[in-house]
Chains A and B, each alone.
Chain A
């Protein structure tokens, strides 16, 4: 029961932050240069058409009414229409078409990075200052300082152009189609429809981008796990567990890791923001048509409604992930459930 009340309390503290995010997005979008009414009309329009378009978009009203209209629109799904990417296409459709690809890329990277990162962090803390520790710390340092796109291009050059083991970009082979639309997520759809060659093709295309993103996240997770494991291993209860005859494996995983996981989980949650940024760069490098690519095009073209929708969507995603991380705290450490 306390778990449920913890989740409810977390959701309640999310609401003011959500409104703050909405307000900031609104202010930012209204401060951006560019006139949406002018951009949505053909070049030889009359003044009456211009005024009618302004009336249609609702931008000739006072700013407070615009704000409330904006809130109402946001919650009913009418996020405006893009005027630069595909003229007149609703923003919600554009985002929802590309969002599953980005989220698959990001989720795979986070899962692989967390799993491998925690493992290497434990090994590095167990053999402190020996060769395992030095190698993993070296990799972690390089991973934190390497630019994503440069690593992507070096991988492309080595694996795709010179050795021809992996495809050099995109998220699917141009000859293959799409699986029948069940959820929109390509992996789930292709598994559900039974066409496994699509799944394998998609996974093969995802190997290089996921490697780039995961390497960078793995670096910071390894560093954090290593330092918090080192701190935990100096505690008295570890000494007690060893004195009582506990196996070293159990000492590390059962006793030490649970206490060391909390800063690590914080870092994973904080890194998700830079993961989304890294996903933007990775998608541009490997020319995968995802949400990040859309954002870059939108900002190049100053497409106000699309930028608005994407920024709000990313902030919402980030808040959801942080909520999930907070719930994960409650699962790992029962003391935090207040």
Chain B
């Protein structure tokens, strides 16, 4: 127990588009909720971890840095980290878990604050730096007008269409499931359910991905407090143990790697635990684009490579009362682009039985959550002991 890491308090700000509350204050809202749930005071926090740190050139993407939060809230940190060169969004939680297990901190605030919708609406306040040329990673995509991760993800999805016969009606089940669940989540960005007819008739973004396969810019902050096993008796909520973690980067590229990084990451996760895929009570899988959730289902061994479309066909298996309830808060397509942290947040909510109208039946004890698409991937296995 003493050498374990736990997720204790979780919190979330309001979720919306074009919010006017400052992103630091949205982060504060989520921090307050997480502290309150955990019964901790800000003085007990001694670490902060975030992804990807403050992105000055693209402020809406990540307007608040770890050091800013430390200073603003008067935290005395003995450890902190924030950066994008890590195995995707939940890599910030992996780093925090490693830190508390190493004794570098006792209670770490992990946060992801997004302000992309507000920044787009008010560029004079949250500017994007203009560039006359592209370099590094972007140079291999932008000159060909492959300007969005939608177009990069679409090519992986198209390969499933061509090689494995993935059908639009199968792919649709991610968006339909997300939207059905989001309708029961008071904080979800999109509260109206989606029909198959609406899905099939909406415009294409980048084949085979249509508008409803894509998340959309959101303003929100999500906080997870990671606590050391030695400090978990200071917490008043049910601690959720981080039973296993995995993350992989081989080629940091959307086109040189044969497969997205989720595939080796999913395999690695099960090498680090005695739990098996069959033990998982709910899966909260990254779905900034719907296809990524299908790839994660395959990666984590819930079905074989290329079988994801068949696995979710009809949607019953991944519904809230199905054998593997998926993205019960609405995923990013329904709940908003919380950017990775929403999946861990919901895992904790479900494992504590606090899901309200969207709570899955039974007594869920094990959840898997993931973040990342393309060359970056992180998976966490969470357990309520």
A binds B: no
Tell me the A residues contacting B by CB distance below 8 Å: none
Residues of chain B at the chain A interface (Cβ within 8 Å) = none
